[in-house]
Amino acid sequence: MKTLVVFYSRTGCTRKAAIDLAKLIEADVEELKERTNRHGLIGFLVAGFDALLGRPADLLPVVHKPETYDIVIVASPVWAFTLCPAMRAWLRREAANIRRVVFLCTQGGHGAERAMLHMRAIIGRDPLTTLVLHDRAIQTGDCAASLEACASEVLAYSAG
């Protein structure tokens, strides 16, 4: 079974978690890129407002087509207690093309549950499984067991 990990990362935490998970399950990887500059303090503040207001991002073209995969793992940071604009835009565009989905959220504080509710609402169905990782655990490597457990669940769904 083919699996795709799609992620957006502003600071690198979600990137690290998504790539580590993809390696564990030998999945293809797609990193979402925005046309908007989110760097620095101004980029951070605008990002938070865009997330709070539910604005989707203007994304650069992607390579992988989710409809060619059996499972798509969606990895997103939590911004302002909700879903980041880049993932919101990609999910809105690709929801109908995703067969089975897994949600992964990274957060510095709180809000993953709300972000996942938004993901579920956009996709229109429940994920196979979910995983929430804290940025500190990603940075220190303390999330390895959680990533391995998630990988095992995804592999079990792939086998079944």
- Distance between start and end Cα atoms, the chain: 10
Task: Tell me how far apart the alpha carbons of residues 37 and 15 are, in angstroms, rounded to a whole number.
Answer: 17
Task: Tell me how far apart the alpha carbons of residues 29 and 51 are, in angstroms, rounded to a whole number.
Answer: 24
Task: Tell me how far apart the alpha carbons of residues 32 and 75 are, in angstroms, rounded to a whole number.
Answer: 10
Per-residue pLDDT, 117? 96
Closest CA to 103 of 136, 132, 80, 81: 132
* Contact present, 138 and 17 (Cβ < 8 Å): yes
Q: In Å, what is the CA distance from 145 to each residue of 21, 27, 60, 151? A: 11, 18, 33, 10
Domains, the chain, ordered by start = 3-159 (3.40.50.360)
Please name the amino acid found at residue 149. Answer: A
- What b/e sequence results for 45-71 when a residue is b if at least 16 CB atoms lie within 10 Å of its CB, and e otherwise? ebbeebbeeeebbebeeeeeebeebeb
The 10s digit of each residue's pLDDT in 2-20 is 999 999 998 899 999 999 9
- Mean predicted confidence (pLDDT) in 107-136: 96
Question: Using a CB cutoff of 8 Å and minimum separation of 24, what contacts does 145-152 make?
Answer: 147/17, 147/20, 147/21, 147/24, 148/24, 150/21, 150/102, 150/104, 151/21, 151/24, 151/25
> Which DSSP state fits 67?
G
The 10s digit of each residue's pLDDT in 35-64 is 887 777 666 666 666 666 677 778 799 999
Pick from 67-71, 110-114, 138-142, 156-160: least confident: 156-160
pTM for this predicted structure: 0.91
